[in-house]
Structure 1
């Protein structure tokens, strides 16, 4: 865990954005971290030093509402609201340099400039130096495992560490998934993590599916969280910047964490 660094949420008044606020509030509360709600503004047709006052009023009113949702979700959590001029991806990547975690909704709905469209989430997930969690708008109560993609790469080792830390915090089982042939290293690595977290139920699953995103989603349909690395040697993490990552971040029914 990264102590004393904020959990940053990109917000844009969409339903996935509010889902991201709820998820991040719980995370900030358990980390004893500040929750920073960031809204990016681009005012077309007006100088940067003369923003539209009515739009700003609307933004601040919505941020106040989002902060209230965060405090209801995690009583006692420290909440900051920030409005900055600029493009959402650029501002979020700047924040990520000193953040414990960046949390985004999977898609914006075009409310306040539609800032958090899927392409923004993909870029931030690919380039941020800290873990990025992308949260879908509809969040039913899930009781399944934390699913971690494994492909023997360094980034998947980081993903495993993040997955086990999250699972321990929320008292969830862990399912480590490898897409490909049976892998003795998968069993050995899972055994190492079982020794580190003896209180957790840990399972492994080898799936023979040439579509890694589908394999991860199907491994545990009731997963609470899916965790992947960014640049792996195999198909699970290696395709993050292409169709695999796009499909997983856009279509997973649960939050997806991307760990570097």
Structure 2
């Protein structure tokens, strides 16, 4: 199967927002859009309960993904849309789907209960295990090509695009993370640092609170700004058309990125890829951004 932009579909408002986000991203990338609707069969005792099994099955029958696909084709002429309905464990199905996807877009919340598959724990599990970048989208979030508002509060083509915000570890800048972020038309790279961070056993993340010598913030600021610029220099040369701004900011990485996300169309963070099926796979910075960013969040796996 050719590479696609994929979206999970369950009928919730957040799921529909993720599908629309993915459609616009597919158009920007020139890739087909793949819609995947997952059905997890109920255990026999629940499936036979008239107020549970029958209602859930009727939802499944009445919401075919092809209806959503037809609407997307009308709104985005020329976009190839593939619709699939799959039975199985939601985490397993979506992670398998990610193996042939450029990225996977999911609603940040689902219907919950017996109907929805994008309840928090499932969405986090997929984000922490998928082989491709996963983008979590909330209802009403900005499009990937959204302009900033003009003085009247209305987005306008005369105003700049909202930037993609990338949280970067300047001590080990990862190529997969940078390549994903530099695919944007406007990019803001943020490195958060603290002069005397609390001790931590966690593997460093991508906008993390870096361990540093006990020197003053005034001494660290120019050094960190220089290191950030040097880390980005080869990428600026490879992507000369990308408008890049950079900021080395003193403060907690999660708080700095959440604050930067308020004017962003997308926030990009990284995570280390692991093969184990169970266990936590997201660092504290990614968790903070996923739970508090008002913008969509892309989590990019890396070695």
Aligned-residue offset at 1:149: 0.8
Aligned pair partner of 1:208 in 227, 247, 250: 250
Per the alignment, in what secondary structure is the counterpart of residue 31 of structure 2?
Answer: coil
Contact 1:148 1:175 (C-alpha < 8 Å) held by counterparts = yes
State TM-score, norm by structure 1.
0.82
Contact 1:102 1:133 (C-alpha < 8 Å) held by counterparts = yes
Aligned pair partner of 1:151 in 161, 166, 169: 169
- Supply the distance in 2 between the matched residues of 1:116 and 1:102 (Cα, whole angstroms): 13
The runs of 4+ residues in structure 1 deviating greater than 6 Å are none
User: Per-residue CA shift, 1:162-184, capped at 9, x if unaligned?
Assistant: 1111x1xxx3x211100105423
1:134 has 2:136 as partner: yes
Distance 1:42 1:32, change over 3 A: same
Aligned-residue offset at 1:241: 1.4
Alignment correspondent of 2:208? none
Q: Please list every run of 5 or more consecutive structure 2 residues that lacks an aligned counterpart in the other structure.
A: 148-161, 194-219, 274-279
Per the alignment, in what secondary structure is the counterpart of residue 263 of structure 2?
Answer: coil
Note the 1:1-260 alignment, pairs <5 A.
Answer: 4-46=2-44, 54-60=58-64, 63-110=65-112, 113-140=115-142, 142-143=146-147, 144-152=162-170, 156-165=174-183, 167=184, 171=185, 173-180=186-193, 182=221, 183=224, 184-210=226-252, 212-231=253-272, 241-260=282-301
Query: Which of 1 and 2 has greater Rg?
Result: 2
Instruction: Give the number of the structure whose residues are more often helix, by fraction.
Output: 1
What is the total number of aligned residue pairs between the two structures?
242
Aligned-residue offset at 1:17: 0.5
Q: With CA pairs under 8 Å and 6+ residues apart, which has the higher RCO, 1 or 2? A: 1
User: Per-residue CA shift, 1:20-67, capped at 9, x if unaligned?
Assistant: 1111112222333221111111232459xx99663332131xx23422
User: Per-residue CA shift, 1:197-244, capped at 9, x if unaligned?
Assistant: 22222111112222x222112125210111111139xxxxxx961443
Aligned-residue offset at 1:140: 4.2
- Supply the distance in 1 between the matched residues of 2:175 and 2:264 (Cα, whole angstroms): 20
- Supply the distance in 2 between the matched residues of 1:119 and 1:67 (Cα, whole angstroms): 27
Q: Please list every run of 5 or more consecutive structure 1 residues that lacks an aligned counterpart in the other structure.
A: 233-238
Per the alignment, in what secondary structure is the counterpart of residue 109 of structure 2?
Answer: coil
State TM-score, norm by structure 2.
0.71
The two structures, once aligned, show a CA RMSD in angstroms of 2.7
